[in-house]
Amino acid sequence: MGYDRDEWRRPWRAPTASWATDPGRAASDATDTPAITRFPQPPPTGWSASTAGPGSPVGSVRPPDTVGTVDAPSTPRRRPFGLLLGALLGAVVGTGATLVVTGALDGVLEESPVEEATAEPDVPSTVAAPSIEPLSESSIVPAVAEAVTPSVVRIDVRGEGGDGLGPAGRSGLGSGVVYRSDGYIITNHHVIDGADSVEVRLADGDVLEAEVIGSDELNDIAVVQVDEAGLPAINLRPESEPLLVGETVIAIGSPFGLDASVTAGVISALNREIRLDEQVPGGGVQTIPSIVQTDAAINPGNSGGALVDAQGRLVGINTAILTRSGASQGVGFAVGAERAVDSADQLIEQGFVRHPLLGIAGTDVSAEQADELDLPARRGAIVESVQPDTGAAAADIRPGDVIVSVDGELLATMSELVAEVRRRAPGDVVVLEVYRDGGVFEVEVELGELPR
């Protein structure tokens, strides 16, 4: 039975198809298996993109301690659902065609060239978009749209050298979110990848040249800056309010160049994982774990735009869809706000993002393996290989071990292990519960840092 999947992550450019087979599928199924890919694509000839209408005036001010931050969680983390979108999810570090264990345990990062940021103010300004009080269901979307639209921008890119965006002279567009009032804007890495020039069109129609501050390819997050103060920074949802499946969310961006487009839906699932058909340096397939899934319509050009809750607070950066038609079919994905903000803060501060490294390759425990190993439960991540000179090697983790928890959090899949490690930083020590030879033991592992 084939998978119905064609997940794109791209600035809006020329539609070209890319298909890849899953490792475990028969050759006869190959033509039915769309894979995640990025497509360079210019606007079609004769297309005229409409611009955003006037936004509402800036209202309330976000307190200084919330600029570029989210509150620390005060409630237990929701356990991941554990459903994988793809075949083998490995986490590996090292050589060969295996996946590298990074903080996501997913790929060797080859950092995109980063230009030095211009001088930053010591204290960022705190102008923010208006807060939204709880409203009746019929009033939620219009109120959120009015408050949040001024914080969402359109991003136009051009790649004169032909890198990333296709042949020389090709252009594309995406969306972005005003993160800080002093001109810092969050978007997707794949929106600005390979761009020689970047322009930002604000909600009021002003067009400004932008500088790429840095890019985090592993999380598909980038930061650009414009020379403009007093921008309406988007409000952030605190981590103390975990997302709930079924709650209302609104996507705002520039699909097909239609600026300030608003769509609404619900959170369909949490902690999904998307696999890209790009190969990462050193071998392996790039993956992004802990993705938010929504049925709010997302289309080419929405990439980098905002996914917000019913109070107009950022919950994700739209990044991909799963489709067979090339347009929205109700399955969209966004990088969670927590991860996007963490990446943005590091990019602004130092121009790059530090990713933790565990040092193993592995996959989900299968029913056959669970029976063979006599596991008490058919869940966990089975280790296939261990990279030398990593924390996992130093802790004597071995091929065949089954990792069943991280810091007391039970794991169902390898994807959950990927997500748990990515939540941490290089140098952090994690306690792994490992099943080996019929017994369970705990081991402390110090996470390394993925080479840049």
pLDDT for 288-304, tens place per residue? 888 999 999 999 999 99
List every span in the chain annotated with CATH 2.40.10.120: 1-16+27-79+115-348
Catalytic residue among 220, 295, 309, 364: 220
The answer to whether residue 220 is catalytic is yes
The answer to whether residue 18 is catalytic is no
Q: Which residues contact 322 (CB under 8 A, 6 or more apart)?
A: 4, 5, 6, 7, 85, 329, 331, 332, 333
Catalytic residue among 175, 190, 355, 364: 190
Phi/psi of residue 53, nearest 5 degrees: -75, 175
Residue 25 has pLDDT above 60, yes or no: no
The answer to whether residue 190 is catalytic is yes
Catalytic residue among 125, 151, 261, 303: 303
pLDDT for 371-430, tens place per residue? 888 888 788 999 999 999 999 999 999 999 999 999 999 998 888 898 899 889 999 999
Percentage above 70 pLDDT, the chain? 65
pLDDT bracket for residue 337 (50, 70, 90): very high
Residue 143 has pLDDT above 90, yes or no: yes
pLDDT bracket for residue 282 (50, 70, 90): very low
List every span in the chain annotated with CATH 2.30.42.10: 356-449
* Multiple choice CATH, 1-16+27-79+115-348, 2.40.50.110, 3.40.50.2300, 2.40.10.120, 3.10.20.90: 2.40.10.120
Quote the pTM value: 0.69
Q: Poorest-confidence range of 135-149, 326-340, 433-447?
A: 135-149
More confident residue, 122 or 118: 122
Long-range contacts of 436-440 (CB under 8 A, 24+ apart): 436/398, 436/400, 436/401, 436/402, 438/374, 440/404
pLDDT for 416-447, tens place per residue? 898 899 889 999 999 999 999 889 999 999 99
Domain 356-449 in CATH 2.30.42.10? The answer is: yes
In which residue are the tokens 């069109």 written? 201
Report the C-alpha gap between 172 and 82 in whole angstroms: 34
Average pLDDT over residues 357-373: 88
Average pLDDT over residues 27-38: 39
More confident residue, 233 or 438: 233
pLDDT for 90-112, tens place per residue? 222 222 221 222 333 232 222 22
Residue 124 has pLDDT above 90, yes or no: no
